[in-house]
Chain A
Amino acid sequence: MSGKPRLTYLNGRGRMESIRWLLAAAGVEFEEVYLETKEQYDKLIKDGFLLFQQLPVVEIDGMKMVQTRAILSYIAGKYNLYGKDLKERALIDMYVEGISDLMQMILMFPFSPPDAKEKNLESIKERATNRYFPVFEKVLKQHGQDFLVGNKFSWADVQLMEAILAVEEKVPAVLSGFPQLQVFKTKMSNMPTIKKFLQPGSPRKPPPDAHYVETVLKIFKN
């Protein structure tokens, strides 16, 4: 056991990607194990490796952590990305939960039936533009600081950065009405750990393609 966190998931974004982002942003090196077949997944379940028989699972500090939010909260707490007190943590949690709702729409998108794809894409664009991005634009404008909470880099900034890039992949001009978010995006991109994660060869995974969708359906088929 090298001591590095070990991530077990498919070789794709899914629910593990936010965890990759946060570890990377915190400057934490990690290992990955990729599941490619249903047999590998069934074996994990049979071996009692997965608390609720689900992925993601992250081996970290002697625990086999499951449940994405629990894992992210632990990493944020451990690496000082969770604010300085309870109230800052509350803000970070609120922001992260809101962004998660938006990311959930993007997560599910590749699995929409073909005749629903256009409508779902429109929903993502509408929610990003009318519900989520305006909140963060306003937060940044009001305090004029570089980071969302407490004038310090936190989990909320990492999650927002991930969401901005994910939405831009689907709606390229989505930041056109959000000057503060454009500046935020540039600043985040230039933070050394994030810059490194955004370079080719990093653990960052590409957008889901047909092969990924096929693998998911195959492995998680009940």
Chain B
Amino acid sequence: MAGKPKLHYTKGRGKMESIRWLLAAAGVEFEEEFIETKEDLEKLRNDGVLLFQQVPMVEIDGMRMVQTRAILSYIAAKYNLYGKDLKERAWIDMYVEGTTDLMGMIMYLPFQPADTKENNLALIIERATTRYLPVYEKALKDHGQDYLVGNKLSWADVHLLEAILMVEECKPDALSAFPLLQAFKGRISNIPTIKKFLQPGSQRKPPTDEKFVAVVRKIFNI
């Protein structure tokens, strides 16, 4: 079974979006099968194709991979986006874990109770501008190179761009104090595979709105 990777998830960002980004950045075409109802999820579970009864699940290279980080690590390594040695991989992992924490906060925001949204949004902005973005700004400043690790495009760069765009959706001028990240954003957005992914009609999913929150709640019973 050669074939394209096949992604199983809802028709929204959630935990699958980083996987879409990475495959797209690597120039890998992929198919998607969308879970639209509770019954769709139940069927996957009953068919025994979800190792821990959860999605994301990606059919790739004869495996039914689950667990977002495992899937991303596999794709990164397979498509040479994981550095040249153990130490570069360590830095990529550290950077990616940071952007994962930040994007995780943003991902859950639409699911928070309405009366906590304002505070949670403020916390996201605070964390972005005082904890996370400064780290990446400094990394770029310290080595003066175009990419975060090893002077070469890696998973860390793709993940950071995804995070920057998500933060900007929360606060459009979030990068105002980060000139190197602004340049980074421009540069990475212009990489042909990524530029293509950022255009309308790609498999990139829109931000989660209230209507989609209701769909997700129903499917996952949350």
Which A residues are closer than 8 A to B by beta carbons?
A: 51-53, 61, 63, 65-67, 69-70, 73-74, 77-78, 86-87, 89-90, 93-94, 96-98, 101, 131-132, 135
Contact = CB atoms under 8 A, between A and B. Distances in A.
Interface residues of B, number: 28
B67 interface: yes
Contact of A131 (B53, B67, B73, B86): B53
B24 interface: no
28 contacts: A51-B94, A52-B132, A52-B135, A63-B90, A66-B94, A67-B94, A67-B97, A70-B94, A70-B97, A73-B73, A73-B89, A73-B90, A73-B93, A74-B89, A86-B74, A87-B61, A87-B63, A90-B63, A90-B65, A93-B69, A93-B70, A94-B51, A96-B70, A97-B68, A98-B52, A132-B52, A135-B51, A135-B52
Interface of B: 51-53, 61, 63, 65-70, 73-74, 77-78, 86-87, 89-90, 93-94, 96-98, 101, 131-132, 135
Given A69-B69, A131-B53, A90 B135 contact: no
Given A70-B97, A89-B77, A131-B52, A65 B67 contact: no
Given A52-B132, A86-B74, A89-B77, A98 B67 contact: yes
Given A65-B94, A74-B86, A98 B51 contact: yes
Contact of B90 (A52, A65, A89): A65
A98 B52 CA distance: 7
Nearest to A53: B131
A94 B132 contact: no
Contacts of B78: 86
8 residue pairs, one from A and one from B, having the closest CB atoms: A93-B70, A70-B93, A97-B67, A67-B97, A94-B70, A70-B94, A74-B90, A90-B74
Contacts of B135: 51-52
Nearest to A72: B93
Scoring B61, B69, B87, B94 by chain A CB atoms within 10 A of each residue's CB, the highest score goes to B94
A97 B74 CA distance: 13
Nearest to A101: B52
A48 to B, nearest CB: 10
Contacts of A73: 73, 89-90, 93
Nearest to B86: A77
B87 A93 contact: no
Scoring A63, A69, A101 by chain B CB atoms within 10 A of each residue's CB, the highest score goes to A69
A131 to B, nearest CB: 6
A51 B139 CA distance: 11
Given A51-B135, A70-B93, 10 more contacts: A51-B94, A63-B87, A65-B90, A69-B69, A74-B93, A78-B86, A90-B73, A93-B73, A98-B51, A131-B53
